[in-house]
A and B are shown apart, each in its own frame.
Chain A
């Protein structure tokens, strides 16, 4: 019975879902590129009188170098601090105060980082800096940017930074397209980095919270920096502690100028909008920003890994096991094959990892593989994270995991497995098109990565073409010991009281 049901499921899934194919989406989607290079994707979706936007800047922590790690993320925070017209009582005076603050900070920093720092002098200069900082605060209208968005009914106001990109988004009632255009153009037209050094403290707290105070945070930092020796994916997006105490407002401004050229930005606007009405508004507001050259492409390519690397963290926490293999950038044609491998190994209760490690051998309680870490734009990693069951060692999990990978290299996957993967990929696309936020983020992301939002819809075709031979080929080529980095947490003595002996 099951086999018959399966066959009919495959047949049904092969039919395109009405209204969700590329052609019907193209009919309601317009791409508008401003003269300064800023790309807008506009989708009319009048389901409710609201709209969402999602702006993605093609810059992330991979654009940083040692000394300024964390700066891409710092700009994300600064983008909430207002502009020359938002968040100030008097910009002309404020600017003088900020300049004086920066001069004082530079003097303090030079004394602090000098080879033979004089603690007394450093202390004096620090006091001067704090006094100048206090001067700047007189002009600040606290959190005015957020205040406007919230008051006008905006929801979901937030942003993120990754190794590849920086994203900004929220949703507004449909009658506020001009507010969107005003606020979002201001942000990238004439941002003011006010309260910079206080916000740097906030970011340091974010590092303490996310990276230093959770076992996964501690592990992932070691994992990423061990996996990459040359490419800037090596350093943490949140930044090193020392850099978070050292990069300056001047650094931030030059980073912004270099990386936030309008041509480096894509915005998708989805919802109850009228394309012909919104385009002139976009021209009027976003068109104010002068064109600047796009940043130079990165030069460093991660050299091939020649030996397995293993990091063992003795930690008070319970064990975790993570292993990863280098793979091409996510725009590579083989990306579809990695997606198939992920699905077959770890998606749902029919996956191989679930059935062997969780259901039958009960060595792990969760096993998840993923690709495109820590970014997608440059060659990246395919990784597996396993959560061992109580009292089970990482080594036991590793042995079974490697047996499953070897099986993928030696034997073809089954028709059912491959069919399930393709069916799920199609359904996933349909499910992802049910809300403005989701549509906006996907279209902007595909536009950024591939230069064409349509690739979102073409992806199902790419996944559909994956063959059994492809899976064996990629598994055999890439999933090799010398290409592997293993990171694990083993529970240190005196750690949490966990029962042993299964």
Chain B
């Protein structure tokens, strides 16, 4: 094979010579022959990268504004993170945060009716999007540069003066109800929903999902009240990135938000969740599929945990790439197409530890065994020096992609600010990973991966498995029957 190559190159030498010379001049030391293996390659040092820092301004009303100019494209994006996550939903009105964000955007403002708002934005190819996650509300806008002043002003109205048109609330409820009706159609929807419920506990807002009854009980007044209690400038971090001049953008932001009075202050109630493991097997019968979906695990860590960087390496060894340990269940055992897992973390509450696989019904037991075995092996055959070195190398070499666009940089900074993390968290991350030792990685793996404490959730056919689920602990059946709406809800 090498023979082929040399002949081919010789045949083209004349043509190539000037180009090769150019390359040699430009990159001293670069070999002209091709490498026979990746190990033979030598890389020039990566150019030093200066990570541009957004500017941070605090308005008099407490709103934190972060700005980063990016003149590559004639676009401007703004994102408001609001302390209005669905974890603040009253239990009997689960889904309220979601509906509020949806209808803030779709239901018009004090100045524009819902249809006028749609016409205005779409006529300018601009967007305003509103979503709610567990932890925050996220309202964002994107516009062409020329439209930025006008769209920002409308964006501010959406945040400050939403009209919550009844008809759009009806549409939003209709959509949310369809989501409830369809929540058992796809096994992956079921498994992650039920796993979260088991891990955080049924009573925890992190384990709750909307029902026909909770959605049915939500009225326009509830949305108005939600908005009034959570949408205050001192509960918002606003980020701007794009083709603007800092002074002008800040002036527009002050004009749009400066006279918004500060909220009453005070701390949100603590969000409860279960703190003990929930070992055992939890089973959802689903017979219209040819696979079992399996998740096992429990609660993970908060991101500011001292073990966080070691766990990043643990995750890399366990499931960080196609070359990681869990992936062997796919590539060497052929048991699955999808298999992954992690010791998860969230910014201000524990994330989830989980191992996931979907496999044909007949290999359900073999796959549970394989996941349990990999979890055990993280302690019994702990990450080797080589695995740790490789994991760190991967994290450090790819670090540059955390900051390869100004949009990404701003989005990171916004998150740090919102959750009260130091703004140099990204730089700390790099240093943190660099400092991790193999001993720390092993200790972290041993501390967090306890398969005997795992909750094992299985969704799949009742018949045709290779092993009874009772082999893995007490089986608790989960009834996922969807409760009908109360009569007369409409």
Q: Give A residues with C-beta under 8 Å from B.
A: 2, 5-6, 9-10, 12-13, 17-20, 35, 47-50, 80, 84-86, 142-144, 146-155, 157, 171, 173-176, 178-179, 181-183, 190, 195, 198-199, 201-206, 208-209, 212-215, 272, 274, 276-277, 279-281, 283-285, 287-288, 290, 315-318, 347-350, 358-359, 362, 365-366, 387-390, 416, 419-420, 423-424, 426-428, 430-431, 433-435, 496-499
Contacts and interface: CB of A to CB of B under 8 A. Distances in A.
B37 interface: yes
A359 B187 contact: no
Contacts of A80: 322
Contacts of A317: 182, 185, 288
Top 4 A-B residue pairs of the complex, sorted by shortest distance between their CB atoms: A153-B397, A427-B125, A201-B334, A146-B322
B291 A213 contact: yes
B394 A153 contact: yes
Contacts of A198: 331-334
B372 interface: no
B271 interface: no
18 contacts: A13-B124, A49-B49, A86-B37, A143-B322, A179-B38, A198-B331, A199-B334, A202-B331, A205-B338, A209-B291, A213-B291, A214-B186, A280-B19, A283-B16, A284-B9, A315-B288, A416-B119, A431-B142
Contacts of B23: 276-277, 280-281
B53 to A, nearest CB: 15
B4 interface: yes
Interface string B266-304: 000000000000000000000011110000000000000
Contact of B19 (A181, A206, A283): A283
B73 A19 contact: yes
A202 B334 contact: yes
A186 B46 CA distance: 24
B174 A209 contact: no
B446 interface: no
A86 B38 contact: yes
B221 interface: no
A423 B124 contact: yes
B144 A205 contact: no
Contacts of A428: 125
B44 A175 contact: yes
B357 to A, nearest CB: 10
B394 A176 contact: no
B218 interface: no
A276 B26 contact: yes
A325 B184 CA distance: 31
B4 A288 contact: yes
A238 B119 CA distance: 41
Residue of A150, A171, A359 contacting most chain B CB atoms (<10 Å): A150
Given A148-B38, A420-B125, 12 more contacts: A5-B150, A6-B119, A47-B72, A48-B400, A151-B394, A173-B46, A173-B397, A173-B398, A176-B43, A205-B291, A283-B16, A423-B125
Interface of B: 1, 4-5, 8-9, 12, 16, 19-20, 22-23, 26-27, 30, 32-38, 41, 43-47, 49, 72-75, 106, 112, 116, 118-120, 122-125, 142, 144, 146-147, 150, 167-168, 170-171, 174-175, 177-178, 180-182, 184-187, 212, 288-291, 320-323, 327-328, 330-338, 358-360, 390, 393-394, 396-401, 403-405, 407, 481-482, 484-485
A212 B47 CA distance: 48
A499 B358 contact: no
A174 B43 CA distance: 10
A148 B37 CA distance: 10
Contacts of A84: 1
Given A182-B35, A195-B331, A199-B334, A208 B182 contact: no
Given A288-B8, A390-B177, A147 B323 contact: yes
Contacts of A209: 291, 337-338, 358
B245 to A, nearest CB: 15
Contacts of A175: 43-47
Contacts of A144: 323
A318 B288 CA distance: 13
A146 B180 CA distance: 39
A179 B407 CA distance: 28
Nearest to A195: B331
Contacts of B291: 205, 208-209, 212-213
Contacts of A146: 321-323
Nearest to B481: A497
A365 B175 contact: yes
Contacts of A179: 38, 41, 43
Given A47-B404, A285-B34, A423-B123, A387 B178 contact: yes
A434 B72 contact: yes
Contacts of B399: 153
Contacts of B336: 202, 205
A497 to B, nearest CB: 5
Contact of B328 (A142, A201, A204): A142
Nearest to A425: B125
B327 A143 contact: yes
A262 to B, nearest CB: 12
Given A50-B400, A280-B16, A420-B122, A362 B185 contact: no
B157 to A, nearest CB: 14
A420 B120 CA distance: 10
Nearest to A182: B35
Contacts of A50: 400-401, 404
Residue of B33, B118, B125, B187 contacting most chain A CB atoms (<10 Å): B125
B12 A35 contact: yes
Contacts of A157: 321-322
Given A48-B405, A143-B327, A499 B484 contact: yes
A18 B73 CA distance: 8
Contact of A48 (B36, B38, B404): B404
A358 B173 CA distance: 11
A202 B330 CA distance: 7
Given A2-B116, A48-B404, A287-B12, A389 B187 contact: no
Contacts of B170: 362
Given A48-B404, A212-B289, A498 B9 contact: no
Nearest to A181: B34
Contacts of B397: 151-153, 173
B35 A178 contact: yes
Given A190-B1, A430-B75, A499-B484, A318 B45 contact: no
Contacts of B323: 142-144, 146-147, 150
A182 B41 CA distance: 9
B39 to A, nearest CB: 9
Nearest to B332: A142
Contact of B73 (A147, A199, A202, A433): A433
Contacts of A318: 178, 181-182, 185
A189 to B, nearest CB: 9
Contact of B482 (A2, A17, A497): A497
Residue of A181, A205, A427, A498 contacting most chain B CB atoms (<10 Å): A205
B22 A276 contact: yes
Contacts of A359: 167-168, 171
Nearest to B179: A365
